[in-house]
Structure 1
Amino acid sequence: MATLQTIRNRAGLLVSIAIGVSLLAFIMSDLITNNNFFGSSQKTDVAEIAGEGIPVTVFEERVTELTENYKRNTGKETTPDEETMQSIRDQAWEEIVTDYVVANNLQDDGIVVENNELQDMVVGNNIDPQILQIPIFKDKATGQFDPNLVKQFIANMDKDPTGAARLSWVAFEKQLQHSRLLSKYYTLVKKGMYVTKAESNKYAEDGTNMYDIRYALKKYSDIGDSTITVKDDEIEKYYNEHKYLFEQEQSRDIEYVVFDVMPSPSDIESIKTKLNIIKAEFDTTTDIAEFVNHNSDTPYSEQFFSKSSITPPYDSLFFAAKPGIVFGPYIENGLYRIAKIMSFKSLSDSVAASHILIAPGEKRTKEQAKLISDSLKLVIAQGGDFATLAMQYSDDKGSATQGGDLKWFKLGMMVKPFEKAAFDAKKGDVVIAETQFGYHIIKVTDKSEASNKAEIAYIDWKIEPSSETYQGVKTKVYQFAGVNSTKDKFDAAITKEGMNKRIANNIRPNDRNIAGLESPREIIRWAYKEETKKGEISQPFEFTDKFVVAYLSEIRLKGIAEKEQIKDQLTSLVRKDKKAEKFISEFKTASSAGSIDALAQKLNITAQDATSINFNSFSLPGMGIEPNVIAASTCYEKGKLSPPLKGNNGVFVITVSNKTKSPQPIDNKTSKMQLSNEIQSRVDYQAFEALKKIADLKDYRYLWY
């Protein structure tokens, strides 16, 4: 059923023998301790939510359901690629978390979506916006939504012999029902977010009352860190009193070395030798397309090139040659190439054209599409308006609304049959081209100035390492991992070999990227295995063109960070506090000064001004983020010195030099609405995050994916 597409879119979304005793010991040790290279986990859950385990089978069922939806949506029967599958798994995760954290508990609270309500969302008086946006449910003449078209689709969907129509609609209804259920819950929460008059007044004042201040500042940077001694007991005390500041999610740090597998000089020479053999055959073959497709890493393309698009010196060589001449092998852009000059032709660089696409499919056969195309071309030849016909008949809805106008396009931008027809035609010609999309009636509206182009057939070979080179690197890597099984040995070997040690910090369990590595999930999963201990050296990880050996340098658990893990941070914070204590004491000693300038002079510093501050200011002009100072600016009486204020950059004493109230009276209704909207805009996210925290969500996906 052709009408399904939009609804579908809405619903879906071993080791070389000669590697040595050290390597064998390495492997055997790993097998004895872990039973396999990656260890084994007894967990069968993908998550734990509110103390309830969510089996991985439940997660996989949801992934399968969404995958099938995706296949129906795209018309593909094959398993999606890994990037798409990861998106599907992410969607499945979000749905399951939402169900277990919010949706599954709503029925007990009396929040449900009844069948009559769902019907009202589809064909009743309160149509869901998602339904309204589906083109097939809009009247073609008026463009307005027609509920009868929805009813017609529902009545006919079981006529689809594949069953895809019903499956797609059921999935779509399920999504609608789920969205409405959550909408009801969040609406209830929003309705409880009442703003009082006092709150709205304060909100208005905070945004409109302005303050100018003059301040004296002693910066922490004025005292060298080396002059402040920080003792262990001071660190211990600060840590115990401020643990709430050091809550963290779990993460890992690794250090790793990369062994690139690069083609050796003999590999490159071998490729050149083989290509020279092919070159001789390329010179005499009559079926260029078949020969290229059989011998090249890139498929044959009947393409013309301008001289400027070819890399020197081959641009001049090619355009001075006669058709049939073969060049190479030569290296270009990481490829070994052979080039054969096929022909020369005077062609435009770009063409402006319009088209009408008549596509075969469920509405018409290929023969019918051809017949319609021929008929339309005849109508145009007899004076029919191309733009009007395009708007009425073209199946390319993107260009149909513009009268079929495709504007200007260059060589290589269109599929080959279309490109050939458009570039071979003259300005004003109307021609038909058949492509994989159907039949195109093409009108050439303009062409750029023609110039000489060369048709060139290329045979490209990727310059890749041989299996012997690959196995040689593999042996070296496994020997490295087997011998250097401790941190000291690991570092010593790196230094001795002159290798580059890389560092990746704060890796989260479900991260999918490590700089410079393609698809490093297995390294991340290894770092999070229960069997992997801090200080452990990994087995080699194998990538497309490299090997990696990693060292697990740090393990951070979810919760309050361990003191030793943040000792440097704690030392810095304690040192900052001790500097602040010294400055506060100095300010208090000089407090007898009557003004901010006298105080500054007494302490041999310069008083400064900051203007146009209000309670909502993000930063203090010229100083950066200083919330304590900004808040104090709105609280103290004009002309009075504040007590010393501990800030982010130093210790401040301020005096308010001017207060400016808005000349306009407070519009309580407007400020109340603004504050209410601001609060309600955060409800969906913050309510969900609060419920997740209460549910104590534990994510174990990293054990499986």
Structure 2
Amino acid sequence: MAILSKIRERSMFLILVIGLALFAFVLDPSTISDFFNASKVNEVGDVNGESISRQEFAEALDAYKKQTGNRVSEMQAAKTVWNNLLRQKIYKSQLEEAGITVGEADIMQALFDSPTVQGDQRFQTSGIFDKSKLKEHLATIKDANNDEWRAWQNYMVSLRDNLEKTTYDNLVSSGLGASLKEGEGQYLTENTKVSGKYVYVPYTSIADSTVTVKKSDVKAYIESHKNQYQVEASRDVKFVKFDIVPTLEDEEALRAEVAKLIEDSEDPNNRNILKGLKNTTDYVAFLEDAKSDISLDDNYKFKAQVPQGIADKLFEGKEGEVFGPYKDNDYFKLSKITKITQLPDSVQSRHILIPFIGANPSGYEPTKNEADAKIMADSLLTVLKADSSKFEDLAKELSSDKGSADKGGFYDWFGYNRMVPEFRDFAFEGKKGDMGVVKTVFGFHIIKIEDQKNFQPAMKLATFGKKIEASEATENTIFQNAETFALNLTNGKKYIDLVKEKSLTSLPAVGLKVLDENVPGIGNERAIITWAFGKDVEVGNFKRFDVDGGYVVVMLTDKTSKGLMSVDKAVQSVRPIILNEKKAEMISSKMSGATLEDIAKSSGQTIRGAVDVNLQSPSLSGVGYEPKIIGAMINAKENKVYTKVVGDRGVYAFVTEKKELPTALPNYDTYRKRIANNRKNKTFQMYEAVKKAADINDSVGSFYGIQQ
């Protein structure tokens, strides 16, 4: 009661606060968020100072999810929508700077030119697209302001966005041509061959252990290459997983329970006799009453299609025999043979398809009702039974299955599971030469069995299956193990000591981003990401989570802020670069002499030869890929010694002895066009460059309650 009293005492104060907030909102709706939170939570980011509001993001997100039929996850949708909004804002600002506007007339023309719109029969007159019909339709639904109008609005917005992108790309591409001189230069660069001699001192000639790379070196490197080492905000965690898996005791108990279903038993509630699988004939009811985890499959099975561990026994059995319990993947099963026959494994047939209204049209719009379609199919069957030679011509003329009609309705050899059940049953259970009418989801088929081959035993099985799962006692034990682990951490025990003590496995998940939902090693667990980015969660904090199939105890091990990568994170990728730079300096300091012979002697290396190498295949024999060195040799003066040239694999000294220029071409337009086309095809790189130069503030995480 004391709590209720306090609430009543404070109620007038709460009403006053809410009233003031609503009053402020009436005066200026944008101020309500500022009233409660100075961080302006009504925004999810901005591009070059132009904000992207929560409402704009939410509407775009909702439209995208509807467009994709909600087939993408929330976070996948959020990432796509954010990138789309970025692209729109960036293209729009670029076009505004260029003085170009995409207007309503442009959008309407794009709408008229849309193949989807032009192909819509509602907007056609005598099979030809009619603009006036589209305009009339849009005017009608605009007045109604219904969901269809909003869908058209979204479509026109997407057309506008595509127009802005295309316009900008075309604008930039129009200035990205190439000259014939550039074409000639490209031809010469690619096809000039050089021969010469060189001394090569590999980086591997100096042991890594003799070179010191300090953290200050790594820091200096990433600060001088800032653009290459920008990172998003991320989190690193490590975790121990406690999987709920059945024990051997659980499996044996389940096996015994399944075995009881073979024979009849007495119902403990009313003492009626419950038929077991051995004596029942109503298999659907049996599986339902026994709570089978698999449904009845009434199809015939060949030997290769049944569980191979029991296949031999099954195909030696007789109708009515029950086999099991046997383990098949994650189930214990019982199987009863209900029917044995001989079936072909492949059939050839012809058919004529007569669809009806309500059937699956399969690209064809039916005009007949079901009764009329059946009358037509029966009439055709009568004609064909009198003269089957007409089948091919009638199929070409009347069948709506265009895939086979052109072949006279012919289907070459197909397997048992290729066709819909009704078609399949007629083709495989009938005899060669049989003809009949069969109804399927596509309509009525007049079918003729042309041939059958490879007859072999097949059987129908009534199979009961129970998924092998952990018992309640096992689940409780695993839960207690996870709880105890977390409790020990709370009481001050070290994570690594606990892992060793209990013989557990600790796994890392590195670089988790704010909009991620998948945690490597665990799966789709958005809750863990949200926790890891919590404002009050610090390195060393931990939490137990319920996950699919068990529990995990997760510990936060590192927090990375948006911006320049930390030295610790950069070491792994930067250290090899700095190592080679330092080795290059060490090698160069010892590389002395005026001739290759002197340089080889001072470096402890031999002189090597390069014959007819070029940039189309920039490799040196015995060394490997070295485009920098081959490029340097092509551009070097002949018979001049060049030394201390740093390559990808080591340091070089070389002499270019001969250059062989390619045969001059009468025209270099082919190469010019290739350069121009290559430039014009780099619209993605162009956008990425503009995006990189833009001032982008990404706070999409705040939309999901994560304050970074």
TM-score class, shorter: 0.7 to 0.9
2:189 corresponding residue in structure 1: 206
Verify the 8 A CA contact 1:111 1:181 in the aligned structure 2: no
Verify the 8 A CA contact 2:509 2:521 in the aligned structure 1: no
SS of residue paired to 2:197: strand
1:262 corresponding residue in structure 2: 245
2:318 corresponding residue in structure 1: 322
Report deviation, 1:343. 0.9
C-alpha distance in 1 between matches for 2:379 and 2:642: 88
CA RMSD of aligned residues (A): 3.8
1:48 corresponding residue in structure 2: 46
Task: Choose which of 529, 553, 556 in structure 2 pairs with 1:552.
Answer: 556
Q: Does 1:517 align with 2:522?
A: yes
Q: Does 1:288 align with 2:283?
A: yes
Report deviation, 1:336. 0.5
Report deviation, 1:563. 2.6
C-alpha distance in 2 between matches for 1:437 and 1:493: 63
Q: Does 1:147 align with 2:128?
A: yes
Verify the 8 A CA contact 2:192 2:661 in the aligned structure 1: yes
Q: 501-510 or 470-479, which moves further after superposition?
A: 501-510
Verify the 8 A CA contact 1:487 1:535 in the aligned structure 2: no
Report deviation, 1:698. 4.1
Distance 1:490 1:48, change over 3 A: farther
C-alpha distance in 1 between matches for 2:123 and 2:609: 63
1:686 corresponding residue in structure 2: 685
Q: Deviations over 1:247-269 (max 9, x none)?
A: 33444333222211101234323
Verify the 8 A CA contact 2:63 2:154 in the aligned structure 1: no
Verify the 8 A CA contact 2:236 2:557 in the aligned structure 1: yes
C-alpha distance in 2 between matches for 1:291 and 1:632: 82
2:58 corresponding residue in structure 1: 60
Report deviation, 1:42. 8.6
Q: Deviations over 1:293-318 (max 9, x none)?
A: 55321221112222344345522322
Matches within 5 A, 1:160-199: 172-199=155-182
Verify the 8 A CA contact 2:123 2:129 in the aligned structure 1: no
Q: Deviations over 1:627-670 (max 9, x none)?
A: 43233122111222212112232211122233221113262322
Report deviation, 1:111. 3.7
C-alpha distance in 2 between matches for 1:270 and 1:42: 59
SS of residue paired to 2:449: strand
Percent of residue pairs identical: 26
Report deviation, 1:189. 1.2
1:579 corresponding residue in structure 2: 583
Aligned residues: 641
C-alpha distance in 1 between matches for 2:97 and 2:632: 47
Q: Does 1:374 align with 2:373?
A: no
2:511 corresponding residue in structure 1: 506
SS of residue paired to 1:102: helix
Verify the 8 A CA contact 2:594 2:641 in the aligned structure 1: no
1:338 corresponding residue in structure 2: 334
Aligned amino acid, residue 292 of structure 1: L
Distance 1:67 1:264, change over 3 A: same
Matches within 5 A, 1:379-458: 380-381=384-385, 382-383=387-388, 386=391, 389-390=394-395, 393-400=398-405, 404-458=409-463
C-alpha distance in 1 between matches for 2:524 and 2:129: 49
User: TM-score, normalised to structure 1's length?
Assistant: 0.80
Aligned amino acid, residue 609 of structure 1: G
Report deviation, 1:217. 1.3
Aligned amino acid, residue 457 of structure 2: N
C-alpha distance in 2 between matches for 1:513 and 1:505: 12
1:279 corresponding residue in structure 2: 262
Verify the 8 A CA contact 2:45 2:51 in the aligned structure 1: yes
SS of residue paired to 2:505: coil
Distance 1:64 1:202, change over 3 A: same
Aligned amino acid, residue 360 of structure 1: I
SS of residue paired to 1:304: coil
Verify the 8 A CA contact 2:333 2:466 in the aligned structure 1: yes
Aligned amino acid, residue 148 of structure 1: F
For the pair shown, the structure with the greater C-alpha radius of gyration is: 2
Task: Choose which of 294, 301, 306 in structure 2 pairs with 1:310.
Answer: 306
Report deviation, 1:614. 3.6
Matches within 5 A, 1:574-613: 574-587=578-591, 589=592, 591-593=593-595, 596-597=596-597, 599-613=599-613
Verify the 8 A CA contact 2:600 2:606 in the aligned structure 1: yes
Q: Which runs of 5+ in 2 are unaligned?
A: 1-38, 264-275, 359-364
C-alpha distance in 1 between matches for 2:218 and 2:616: 34
C-alpha distance in 1 between matches for 2:131 and 2:487: 66
Distance 1:286 1:492, change over 3 A: same
Q: Does 1:98 align with 2:87?
A: yes
C-alpha distance in 1 between matches for 2:246 and 2:665: 77
Verify the 8 A CA contact 1:388 1:403 in the aligned structure 2: yes
Q: Deviations over 1:391-438 (max 9, x none)?
A: 555555555565545443322343322321221232343333333343
Report deviation, 1:463. 0.5
Report deviation, 1:676. 0.7
Q: Which runs of 5+ in 1 are unaligned?
A: 1-40, 72-79, 140-144
Report deviation, 1:91. 4.6
Report deviation, 1:244. 5.1
Aligned amino acid, residue 592 of structure 1: A
SS of residue paired to 1:417: helix
Report deviation, 1:597. 4.8
Verify the 8 A CA contact 1:69 1:168 in the aligned structure 2: no
